[in-house]
């Protein structure tokens, strides 16, 4: 058996790297700007959506590549972009804000901030559920609610000594 075909590139390396780069940036932008909230609260449909995106992106990235070397080069390209973005975000606050986003205030001063909620497609019922998950009885007992860049919702209860 000839094992050399496992490690011989079947697609030019530059093409694989370019395909990986294009799909990495496309998916980065989709997840950063469109699906941010879903990353922090994975439901069945969210998980299924991510699996389907991965499957759809695979064809665009791999093209006609069939060898292990092709896959390894593609994976190395994706890992490289991921490490580079993390390093840039660590070194540059401006890039970190772009790449990771800012937390969004959804509740403040006893009021739901409906424009922010609308922008993030979060309902009052979802926030109420999160408040209850945190062991807080109602919005009356909440100081602030934030949607974090990770997609998690943070509930900050009122301090018992504060009014």
pLDDT in tens, 139-163: 999 999 999 887 788 999 998 655 4
**pLDDT reported for residue 39:** 42
Between CA 26 and CA 130 the distance in angstroms is 31
Instruction: Tell me the pTM.
Output: 0.60
Q: What is the pLDDT of residue 146?
A: 94
In terms of pLDDT, which residue wins out, 60 or 21?
Answer: 21
> What domains sit in the chain, N to C, each tagged with a CATH number?
4-100 (no CATH), 104-157 (3.30.240.20)
Q: What is the pLDDT of residues 15-46, one digit of tens each?
A: 989 988 998 888 888 777 766 554 455 555 56
């Amino acid at each position: 058996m000839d094992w050399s075909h496992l490690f011989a590139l079947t697609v030019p390396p530059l093409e694989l790297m370019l395909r990986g780069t294009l799909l990495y940036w496309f998916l980065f932008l989709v997840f950063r700007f469109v699906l941010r909230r879903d990353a922090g609260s994975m439901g069945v449909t969210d998980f299924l959506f991510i699996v389907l995106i991965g499957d759809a992106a695979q064809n665009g990235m791999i093209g006609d590549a069939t060898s292990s070397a092709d896959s390894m080069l593609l994976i190395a390209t994706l890992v490289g972009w991921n490490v580079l973005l993390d390093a840039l975000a660590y070194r540059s606050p401006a890039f970190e804000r772009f790449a990771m986003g800012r937390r969004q205030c959804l509740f403040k001063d006893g009021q739901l901030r409906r424009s922010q909620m609308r922008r993030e497609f979060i309902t009052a019922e979802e926030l109420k559920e999160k408040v209850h998950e945190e062991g807080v009885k109602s919005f009356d007992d909440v100081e602030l609610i934030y949607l974090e860049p990770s997609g998690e919702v943070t509930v900050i209860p009122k301090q018992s000594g504060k009014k």
